[in-house]
Structure 1
Amino acid sequence: MTRVPVAQRRRDFIAAAVEVIAAHGIDGATTRRIAEQAKANVAMLHYCYDSKEDLFADVYEFVTGKYREVIEGNDPHTTLPEAAQGILRGVMECYLDSPSFTAATFELVSWARRQHGGRGIAVYDQAFDALRKALQEAAAADPVAPEVIDEVAYVVATLADGFAVNWLTYGDTTVARGQMEINSSVLDAWLARRVAATKAKPARRARTSRA
């Protein structure tokens, strides 16, 4: 029998943990269930990981890496509105492609905020850092104020997370596709007004003639 490298086994356990967390929640994500999902035995899991906490740490890295991959995969040679739209669609597609990833992500963040505080925040912080960087690169040719970048990042994240909650709740792909278009149109409308406002210059005061 071919020996499976430890690195590959760890990837298998990470993928299995995502599926188990999505199906059973954090409390139900036992090492036995994760091992069974990975088609391995519990002894192998403990050979690869000293504890379930260590495995979950790699799951967090997987989640943040997935967001980073989607965000950094966006074309940097574009405009700020185009980059924001591309990232929003990329994240929504990621959620749509994998309900398990979506459910596990929300479960992990909520659990981490309850148990470890900062770790749950770290998932969002790292995603936001990558998002801001991508938006700043897109706006390089036509710079905007840092607070505008922050606002765009917040709106993109809010629309994506709202989409994810609806997708997890109803699980209807046709409806979700329609909601993607609604979210994109909402972002378009907001961006048009917000970016235009940053470019607007104060009207020059008309000169008055002295008597």
Structure 2
Amino acid sequence: MARIPVAQRRRDFIEAAVEVIAAHGIDGATTRRIAEQAKANVAMLHYCYDSKEDLFADVYTFVAGKYREVIEGSDPHTTLPEAARQILRGVMECYLESPSFTAATFELVSWARRQHGDRGIAVYDQALDTVRKALREASAGDSVTPELIDEVAYVLATLADGFGVNWLTYGDATVARAQMEINCSVLDTWLTTRLAAVPAKA
């Protein structure tokens, strides 16, 4: 039987941890459950990670990277409204595609905020910083202030996270698809009104 590289084993344990956290919460995410989910033994998990905290640190990195991947997938050569719409739809699609990722992410951020305040904030901050960067690139050359970029990022986070909570609560993909369209419509209406109040560039 071929030996599985440690790097691959780490990825297996990270993905397994996401599934276990989604199903059992942080407190229920024991090393035994994570190892079983990864189809490995506990000794292998401890060989790859010195502690569960070390594993969770990689899970945080995975979560932040997933958001970054989705957000950076938006077209930078477009308008601010279109970039915002692409980001919102991309994050909602990511949530819809993987309820486990959605549940684990919310659980991790809430737990980290309670136990390690800075780490919980850092995960959220990283996602928002990536959103701001994408929005700045899309609005380059326009008379868009940093304050407006912050407002758009906040609205995107609020709509996406609200969608995620509803999706986790009810789990109806058909309803969730309809809610995605509602959220995009809300974003479009708000952006149209908000941008109309921005003074024209001289």
TM beyond 0.5 = yes
Moved over 2 A (4+): none
Where does 1:1-211 land on structure 2 (aligned, <5 Å)?
Answer: 1-199=1-199
Q: Percent identity?
A: 85
Amino acid at match of 2:197: A
Q: Any stretches of 5+ residues in structure 1 without a counterpart?
A: 202-211
Aligned residues: 201
CA distance in 1, matches of 2:145, 2:112: 33
CA distance in 1, matches of 2:151, 2:173: 29
Task: Report the secondary structure of 2:197's partner residue.
Answer: helix
TM-score, normalising length: structure 2: 0.98
Larger radius of gyration: 1
Q: What displacement does 1:196 show?
A: 1.0
Q: What displacement does 1:141 show?
A: 3.0
Q: Alpha-carbon deviations, 1:108-160, whole Å to 9, x = none?
A: 00100110110000011100110000000000032301100000000000000
Pairwise CA RMSD: 0.9
Q: Alpha-carbon deviations, 1:185-208, whole Å to 9, x = none?
A: 00000000111101359xxxxxxx
Q: Alpha-carbon deviations, 1:70-118, whole Å to 9, x = none?
A: 0111110000000000000000000000000000000000100110110
TM-score, normalising length: structure 1: 0.94
CA distance in 1, matches of 2:143, 2:177: 32
CA distance in 2, matches of 1:167, 1:71: 20
Q: Alpha-carbon deviations, 1:147-175, whole Å to 9, x = none?
A: 00000000000000000000000000000
Give the structure with the larger helix fraction. Answer: 2
